[in-house]
Structure 1
Amino acid sequence: MLLALCTASLYTTTATAATSANAPDTLQVFVRDGCPHCRDAKLYLSELQRQQPQLKIVFRDVVQDPVALAELEARTRASGSWPPGVPTFVFGEHMMVGFSTPERSGPELLALLATLTPDPATSQPPQVADHVDTVLFGSLSAAAMGLPLFTLAIGLLDGFNPCATWVLLFLLSLLVRLHDRRRMALIAGTFVLVSGAVYYAFMAAWLNVFLLIGWSTPLRWSIAVVAVAIGAINVKDFFAFRQGPSLSIPESAHPGIYARARSVLRADAVAASLLSVAALAVVVNFVELLCTAGFPAVYTAVLTQHDLSPWQHYAYLGLYILGYIADDSLMVAVAVWTLGNHRLTEHGARWLKLIAGSVMLALGATLILRPEWLM
């Protein structure tokens, strides 16, 4: 009985709040905790309310309030501006999505508030801020336009990790002995593509974990600390290679990888070689997880903070993988064209670790000090 009363009380409270928010003279603002555009909108509205004390504003968090989320989705579908985004402003029957800066979005919001008593000479149709109006990659504002480039850059840098590079170059050094460009391209290309597919699945798992548990300050700090630790270890390896803790493929795993790589050449049929090299790619990706976990964890955490539909999240992961395999594809193309034999030296590995470690340190520090730069 007590549980029923509590449930009824909760429902009544939610319904009353929603009814109050839907009053025609009330500005509803759909927001989400951790959204930098929402924070900017709140600051602007706080100043606006000081100037217009009669203005009624209700903030509705779409994560904490399922009713608010359902209403936002319904209004977004009705307006034809799917997918939904935050912040979304609703005043009467009019809606505006997105907020960039007070200078840019302020006039649009004021025009929205003027729709309650429209003046035929000055009234404007409801506007949707262009920084969330996209076809594939979400917002077209300066902040969101940076996400595709950020994705490619981090993916490209991740692809230069010494663990994967060492294995690929060793495989290419064996394939050169075949003096068969077609077979070399097929086998090495299969290794790169399978590695990319396994890495995509690994990143999708990270993404789903962050989408499931949600973004929070403790999680942000945890990821930042891990990023700083990984970056510090990689930078340390530049000055003291393999001394102390190191994020590299362990020496104990080298003989097994060498044996699997050589088995690729011993296969008589091309199909058998392709199956062997695909198995090698899967094994190597699992062995090097600690070596490469930093960038995927940080990137997928950042990706979840952008208001994207599920398929857009996975499209961005695909873009990341394109960057990730770009350098490997280039190495394969050069080796096939020149039939050259190259190995990853300790000197080269040190520099790759220094570059990756420095970027990881910068990302970790940004998550701690200026997280909004990545959102």
Structure 2
Amino acid sequence: MEQKKTACKLFKRCGGCQLSMSYDEQLVWKQERVQRRFEDLCGEDKIDKILGMENPYNYRNKTTAVVRNIGGRVRSGVFQSSTNTIAVTDDCMLENKEANRISKALTRLMQDFKIQPYNPVTNKGVIKYFLIKVAKATGEAMVCIVTAPTAMPSKQAFAKAVCEKLKSVKTVVLNVSRMRDKLMLGDETEILVGNGFITDILCSKKFNISAHSFYQINPAQTEKLYSTAIELAQLKNTDTLLDCYCGIGTIGIIASDKVKRVLGVEINKSAIADAKMNASLNSVANAEFTSGDAGEFMQMLVKKGEKPQVVILDPARAGCDARFIKCLARLSPERIVYISCNIATQERDVKQLIKQGYVIEKVAPVDMFPHTTHIECIVSMRKEKK
């Protein structure tokens, strides 16, 4: 296991890395925090050792490269902690190496085409940032040019030049963001080159990824995360699996070979469109994906007399609200597998599920974000027999 301490010269300014200690020390630090949260709920023997990375560097498959005019030159970087000032990052140790190379080339092309970076103070300029995604398995890359509402000059020629200079880039899209200060994609997206998505392979399944798609940023650890979650779900070929907060359908599609039926529910309509496309891409015929509120969807299943044996949920950092927990308890699945990137809200929700008659079978932390304080954790639970 890698032992060196974080060596990034921007450590105190960038904020991308938060832990300046050896990787083994980071894993110990994270393990202790998981144990503090869950030891009293299930005992130490049910908490697995955290799954770390063999090489905890250059793991991020998504890069947000903010561009600014600095000293008359176009430079890219990330926002310094709690500021609108960027820290120039020429070679980030967390970002995919190809994404680092693409980022540098894009700023040079901006200078060649005389395209001005956006200035949030004056509200002038064109390009705010580049969103770069790289598929680990296929090597395909996507560049999303995020602009102010100002029309981008020579956009087609620029996109063509990107693909000619960078052979890994298979598609270039343009997104108009009307948010002045925030790094958020807008609703208006135009495909300039390619088909608007790249294809990656995860746990032997193919996934098309668009600019808007939520896709875990650490593909190597994601395979460990999903494989562990599916193993802990103890799926049978007679089971119906409900995948709550299913996103683009990754978990449900990966698990589809092991169950009779997959039901996926997600509030984001574009994500559901991606999930249906990904199911078709993998010739998965036993998965149904629905756009809507997960709690309301479970209520509908109860009314119809349908009862999934297993529920896998992977909510946002805020966790599940009280209504969702109530609906899940009414659905009363035999097994629940709860994946979370926030162990504080996960602990809160697990306590509520314990009150509803569930017991913890296993707690399995996975280090998805080396050199940061973030911890991903799986908690598997079963309905206690009366």
Instruction: Give the TM-score category using the shorter length.
Output: under 0.3
Q: For CA contacts below 8 A with separation 6 or more, give which structure has more relative contact order.
A: 1
TM-score, normalised on structure 1? Answer: 0.24
- Higher strand proportion, which one? 2
**When you count helix as a share of all residues, which structure comes out higher?**
1
Instruction: State the TM-score, normalized to the length of structure 2.
Output: 0.23
